[in-house]
Chain A
């Protein structure tokens, strides 16, 4: 008789509990910093104060659990380093993501002034065509900010024409258009350092750009990398809180994979014996 297979609902229950318990009862497993996260951190950390930087929010609420914590951590780092932040979005709901993060951070940094320290240019349809057009002149693509105010009237945009005036580009990306397009135009055409973060699902297709050619200067892949970044800037938040749960859930998945394989081999052996 073949060994009985486990009802998949048990797996769901174990993973649910495995994720829920560490969120309530924090274990505090160590978080190691990986090279890709360190590279992204160093890029922002070594950029002089007063530099203009471009952040692109290329995701929507579906990817918030993974990308929001890293976006908040990196923006916080840029604010700490006194960079002048220009926000934009290749995804329509990226604008709300920007607003949400700046709403949270402006309570912690009350001295931040909209139009002087940061600006939200909003969403523009077009993906790679938009990025390419911004290389010629930001104003042709974004004559106004997300609130409809002319960007010429915002002090932060004084003398900012195109990517030549930008120190680095940072994209948080859940798919296309996203970080890949920023690499293709921002780095490969205009030679600006590009960094950012992606969801775990898209990480394998984006990681090859972190290479000798520095098409990407570091990359944050998934919630784990967000937790690493929070550790680097000394501001543990949601990603750090989720790391115990992530580790325990992975352990449960590995245990079930081992059980499944043992079961498979036992069944195979029994069939062979017959």
Chain B
């Protein structure tokens, strides 16, 4: 019986893969059915998953096991219920309080972390002697790093008109930005092809057994 369900799962996977791929030819009812099933299943799955993996272990179990030690959890539970009040038009205003707490907490935590890691950490990493390298490839790379960082930052300085030497520096910054966009596009193309490879490995391997 286990084998039957395994085979059924593989065939369903193959069917829905082709159903989604069929959109590449043109929009069609089979694609729409597959899309709706995916959306419905995902919503249902996440709803149940959240109850059993977030609500029960983090709230209900601690409260039922040892209420006196965990009664503080009632506070976030109330905030959670207040958040759901968005669904009730007359009580919608109640949801503003948990949202405000959430934003303030996130901003406070993120501010320090990003300042340390993304500003100071990245600045320190750029403050290097670009000519101190084991070989010319490293040295050229380090020079590009320093020049690219400075010119890139100059491009985003908008309090002075981009003209003269300042404009040339900003222009060089644009070229560095364009190279970074190209690299990002390359990585994106690679990622999408990887997903296609994954699907084809499933179709040719698990489904058709053409590859090991």
Task: Report the nearest A residue to B145, measured CB to CB.
Answer: A211
In the complex with contacts A188-B121, A241-B211, A65-B198 CB distance below 8 A: yes
User: Is the pair A211, B184 in contact by a Cβ cutoff of 8 Å?
Assistant: no
CB-CB nearest in chain B for A26: B211
A123 within 8 A of B: yes
Tell me the total A-B contact number using a CB cutoff of 8 A: 119
B49 near A92 (CB under 8 angstroms)?
A: yes
Please indicate the chain B residues that have their CB under 8 angstroms from the CB of A128 in the complex. 109-110, 113
Q: Is B28 an interface residue (CB 8 A)?
A: no
A201, B187: Cβ atoms under 8 Å?
Answer: yes
A12 to B198 CA separation, bound complex (whole angstroms):
16
Q: B122 within 8 Å of A by Cβ?
A: yes
- For the complex formed, measure the closest distance between the CB of A187 and the CB atoms of chain B, giving whole angstroms: 8
Query: Could you say which residues of chain A place their CB within 8 Å of the CB of B25?
Result: 9
A43 within 8 A of B: no
**Is A19 a contact partner of B196 (Cβ separation < 8 A)?**
yes
- Asked if A199 and B191 sit within 8 Å, CB to CB, the answer is yes
Give the complex CA separation of A250 and B211 in angstroms.
Answer: 22
Q: Which of A1-41 contact B (CB under 8 A)?
A: 9, 12, 15-16, 19-20, 23-24
CB–CB B198/A64 < 8 A: yes
| Interchain CA distance A249-B121 in the complex, whole Å | 37
Contacts of A181 in B (CB 8 A): 113
The answer for the CA separation of A245 and B195 in the assembled complex, in Å, is: 11
CB of A204 closer than 8 Å to a CB of B: yes
Asked if A200 and B188 make an inter-chain contact with CB atoms under 8 angstroms apart, the answer reads yes
* A203 vs B204: C-alpha distance when bound (angstroms): 28
Q: Which residues of B contact A242 (CB under 8 A)?
A: 194, 197-198, 201
Contact indicator A213/B124 (Cβ below 8 Å): yes
Known: A12-B24, A65-B199, A242-B201. A200 touches B121 (CB 8 A): no
Q: Say whether A222 contacts B125, CB under 8 Å.
A: no
A214 to chain B, nearest CB (A): 9
Judge if A151 is at the interface, Cβ distance under 8 Å: no
How far does the alpha carbon of A226 sit from the alpha carbon of B180 in the complex, in Å?
23
B116 within 8 A of partner (CB) = yes
Instruction: Name the interface residues of B44-60: CB closer than 8 Å to any CB of A.
Output: 49-50, 53-54, 58
Q: Tell whether A47 is near chain B: CB-to-CB under 8 Å.
A: no
A238, CB-defined interface residue at 8 Å: yes
- Which chain A residue shows the least CB distance to B26? A9
Residue of A nearest to B105 (CB): A129
A234 to B169, CA, bound (A): 47
Q: Kindly list chain B residues whose C-beta atoms are within 8 Å of the C-beta of A125.
A: 54, 58
| Contacts A65-B198, A212-B125, A213-B121 given; does A19 touch B116 at CB 8 Å | no
Chain B contacts of A19 at CB under 8 A?
193, 196-197, 200
Query: B177: shortest Cβ distance to chain A, in Å?
Result: 12
Q: Which residues of B contact A250 (CB under 8 A)?
A: 189-190, 193
Q: Indicate whether A66 sits within 8 Å of B194 (C-beta atoms), given known contacts A204-B180, A245-B200.
A: yes
Chain A 227-274 interface residues, beta-carbon cutoff 8 Å to B = 238, 241-242, 245-246, 249-250, 253
Q: Which residues of A contact B204 (CB under 8 A)?
A: 20, 23-24
Q: In this assembly, does A98 line the interface, its C-beta being within 8 Å of a C-beta of chain B?
A: no
Chain A residues near B201: list those with CB within 8 A.
23, 65, 238, 241-242
A184 within 8 Å of B (CB atoms): yes
CB distance A204 to B184 under 8 Å?
A: yes
Q: A204-B180, A245-B200 are in contact. Are A184 and B194 (CB under 8 A)?
A: no
Nearest neighbor of A248 in chain B, beta-carbon distance: B193
**Cα distance, A15 to B196, chains bound together (Å):** 9
Contact with A along B169-212 (1 / 0, CB 8 A): 00000000000100110011111011111111100100000110
Determine the chain B residues whose CB is within 8 A of the CB of A253 once the complex forms: 189, 193
- B104 beta carbon closer than 8 Å to chain A: no
| CB–CB A184/B117 < 8 A | yes
- Verify A246–B187 contact, CB threshold 8 A: no
**A23 in contact with B124 (CB, 8 Å):** no
Asked if B33 lies at the interface with its beta carbon under 8 angstroms from chain A, I say: no
